[in-house]
Structure 1
Amino acid sequence: MPHETAPTLIRPPPLDSSKAAIENVLELTQLTDIDPDLFTNTRPLWHPPGARGIYGGAVIAQCLSAAQRTVPNDFSIHSMHCYFVLNGNAEIPIIYHVEHVREGRSFATRTVQARQRGKPIFTTTMSFMKQGAGGKHRVEHAAHMPYVPVANDDDEEELRLPQGIDGPFQSQRIDIENSTSVTEVLQKSPDTSVIDDAPNPHTKRTRQWIKARGHISAEGGHQAHLSALAYMSDSYFIGTVARVHKLWRMAPGRARNGKPSIDEDVRKKLLDNDEETIKRVTTPSNEIYIEQIRRGEKQRRPEVGMMVSLDHTIYFHSPRDFRADDWIFTEMESPWAGDGRGVVMQRMFTKEGRLIATCVQEGVVRLKQPTEEKL
């Protein structure tokens, strides 16, 4: 008989309508009867279409959620350093094991390992600090948030749902700073082989507003907002490298499984749609493709052959001084890419302009290599 799998260890309970969607997504079940430091995902985890495994932000956030339940309430997370070891399988439960590394008066350290079928798929070390341990007199400074258009809750056309209509958070994109628009580039050169307008990709800044949908419950406390922030921090993160280079995420008309990535009927409809409709369906991976479909041009851009996260670091600056269900501004830049890898840095601000987190991620970014012509 074929081996049956299930996405959760225990049958999930009904969704709690008093909580935000992201709280339900990140809910954990504590396996107290086995070990109080063991946890498992209560609900199935999201597997992005075409991705190699589950959404990394979910594992990051659930590791944080598990660790937060093992420290005193007056301790707050200030840093977490994570490594993606193996692709997570959405059809198999994840077991989270929290190790108490240090119990200090001002700092506490936890290591969490996420396992599937006995193998580690993810590991992270987190440091927590006791409130007020920094003293009354402190050294203080913070980067300023750049001036950008404020997110608009009433502008439905600009709202994006990165994980679909039932996804736990939403976003609004802002134009990339120091980047020429697709239309401007095509006007300068109809030759799509030079459509990358960036002699200096490291100077570009990709920007967006994000927030958890609904209202995070008072019951969740500051821990729920921190876990939600960790979850959203992985949104379009390593993909920044592809965006600043204007690379194809996958070749137009073809997905990883060999099936068309854009249905032929959809392609025909795109040709007939007006500018506003096209704007709503445009994403970083298909914006140039859509433009070229309308111009009847053939794609000759480099294509991403593999792009996966290797590690993920978050420094939390104001762990109890923000709401994840209010708009948060994120700005990302890639200072370096090479040798099949790329590094991206991210800053996260409240809408009032207060820096609340700094994140760093390195990932594999390999181009699909051209097929050598036979002589």
Structure 2
Amino acid sequence: MADHATLVKPPPIDPSKSSIENVLELTELSAIAPDLYTNTRPLWHPPGARGIYGGAVIAQCLSAAQRTVPSNFTIHSMHCYFVLAGDAEIPVMYYVEHVREGKSFATRTVQARQRGKCIFTTTMSFVREKSGGKKTINHAVPLPEGLDKPSAPNGEEEGDSPFISHRIEMLNKDSKNPHEKRTRQWIKARGRISEAGGHQAHLSALAYISDSYFIGTVSRIHDLWRFGAPSSNKTEGKESTLKDDMAQREAYVKKLKESEGYGHDLNNEAGRPEIGMMVSLDHTIYFHEPRAFRADEWMFTEMFSPWSGDGRGVVTQHMFAADGTLVATCFQEGVVRLKEERAPKASKL
């Protein structure tokens, strides 16, 4: 199975489905065991990252679990832990466990496993539609004022990412207090999600998108240098050469120049504190209006960090539909360690 990114050969891309639906497609393995699934297509390993993109595993776990609940039950919360870095070169196996079947709520756990080890685990709760009663209490954080929905992605339609992002200037960027700063972006799935995908496809897409730039918020509000040395990671099954890796970094820095004003400081000439390690530990999503949005239409996300310390940071994210509906609230904690300068070796007497 080594050096094979999927258990079976991927089928041709389905043109009737959006890019993100094809990316997140699952293969059911009922002949092996009930409620067992695997990724149909290779998963993305971001350049320089320790493993596969976490949003893909989050979304595929949700997609697998959604197949095991009645159609009138909808996800309202999922609590995830990243255990080990995923390997893009071998398949991921998703094991769904039925924890509880209730009249109003159902609970599932899903483990993503590679080489017999758990790389990711999540517990999800589903609620029966319209089970909250005829009278309900209601309130929600409002969409921030003064926002203009993108009329065009300004060239970000290009590329093969399954979603499009349009980042805007950080709110309170000049504040001396990192917790007052807000990173913001407009984001949506590329193309049009198929009617056959139902609301489940939009929820899986939102889960995929929710991991975009999440724990990185801590590095941005502290103005940390986050471009390490070029790596030899594999990208899409091919060894990255030093030239390719540098080109990817330069393209990323150019994008940052437009959105954050960092410029082409590839060697950190400004002397900013440098990230030594940054990885996600856990990820939580509360779905507030799971059937009241489309993930292929512009959504607005705002992220802020209430705390960082002891080599970790916590980030909160609000996700809105363009009409102002608060769609989801997300939380993520991750390792955020600074690169420490090596002490000079003591001279021998």
1:229 matched to 2:206: yes
Match of 1:34?
Answer: 32
Say if 1:81 and 1:314, in contact at 8 Å, map to a contact too. yes
One-letter identity of the residue aligned with 1:337? S
* Cα shift readout 1:290-341 (whole Å, capped 9, x = no counterpart): 2x57xx9933111100000000000000011100000000000000000000
Measure, in 1, the Cα distance between the counterparts of 2:276 and 2:244. 15
One-letter identity of the residue aligned with 1:326? E
Displacement of 1:151: 2.7
Q: Percent identity?
A: 62
Measure, in 1, the Cα distance between the counterparts of 2:312 and 2:86. 21
Pairwise mapping of residues 108-123 of structure 1 onto structure 2 (< 5 A)?
Answer: 108-123=106-121
- Residue 262 of structure 2: SS of its match in structure 1? helix
Pairwise mapping of residues 184-333 of structure 1 onto structure 2 (< 5 A)?
Answer: 198-251=175-228, 254-257=229-232, 259=242, 263=246, 280=255, 282=257, 287-290=261-264, 292=265, 298-333=269-304
Say if 1:201 and 1:245, in contact at 8 Å, map to a contact too. yes
* Cα shift readout 1:316-375 (whole Å, capped 9, x = no counterpart): 000111000000000000000000000000000000111010000000000000122345
One-letter identity of the residue aligned with 1:48? P
Displacement of 1:280: 4.8
Say if 2:23 and 2:162, in contact at 8 Å, map to a contact too. yes
Cα 1:202–1:101 shift into 2, 3 Å: same
One-letter identity of the residue aligned with 1:288? Y
User: TM-score normalised to the size of structure 1?
Assistant: 0.84
Measure, in 1, the Cα distance between the counterparts of 2:151 and 2:32. 45
Cα 1:222–1:297 shift into 2, 3 Å: closer
Measure, in 2, the Cα distance between the counterparts of 1:153 and 1:64. 31
Measure, in 2, the Cα distance between the counterparts of 1:92 and 1:262. 22
Pairwise mapping of residues 72-151 of structure 1 onto structure 2 (< 5 A)?
Answer: 72-151=70-149
Say if 2:112 and 2:121, in contact at 8 Å, map to a contact too. yes
* Cα shift readout 1:154-199 (whole Å, capped 9, x = no counterpart): 3524x376xxx1110001011100003xxxxxxxxxxxxxxxxx52
Measure, in 1, the Cα distance between the counterparts of 2:319 and 2:152. 23
Measure, in 2, the Cα distance between the counterparts of 1:127 and 1:138. 20
After superposition, the CA RMSD in angstroms is: 2.3
Cα 1:373–1:261 shift into 2, 3 Å: farther
Match of 2:171 among 172, 177, 180: 177
Measure, in 1, the Cα distance between the counterparts of 2:309 and 2:268. 30
1:166 matched to 2:160: yes
- Residue 57 of structure 1: SS of its match in structure 2? helix
Measure, in 1, the Cα distance between the counterparts of 2:94 and 2:2. 21
One-letter identity of the residue aligned with 2:295? A
Measure, in 2, the Cα distance between the counterparts of 1:167 and 1:280. 15
Aligned length: 336
Say if 2:231 and 2:245, in contact at 8 Å, map to a contact too. no
Match of 1:59?
Answer: 57
Write out the 4+ residue segments of structure 1 that deviate beyond 6 Å after TM superposition. Answer: none
Displacement of 1:235: 0.1
Say if 2:311 and 2:336, in contact at 8 Å, map to a contact too. yes
Measure, in 2, the Cα distance between the counterparts of 1:154 and 1:245. 30
Match of 1:191?
Answer: none
User: TM-score normalised to the size of structure 2?
Assistant: 0.90
Displacement of 1:32: 1.1
- Residue 365 of structure 1: SS of its match in structure 2? strand
One-letter identity of the residue aligned with 2:176? P
Displacement of 1:283: 6.8
Measure, in 2, the Cα distance between the counterparts of 1:41 and 1:82. 18
One-letter identity of the residue aligned with 2:171? E
Match of 1:13?
Answer: 11
* Cα shift readout 1:29-77 (whole Å, capped 9, x = no counterpart): 0101112210000000000000000000000000000000000000000
Displacement of 1:124: 0.1
* Cα shift readout 1:101-134 (whole Å, capped 9, x = no counterpart): 0000000000000000110000000000000110
- Residue 200 of structure 2: SS of its match in structure 1? helix
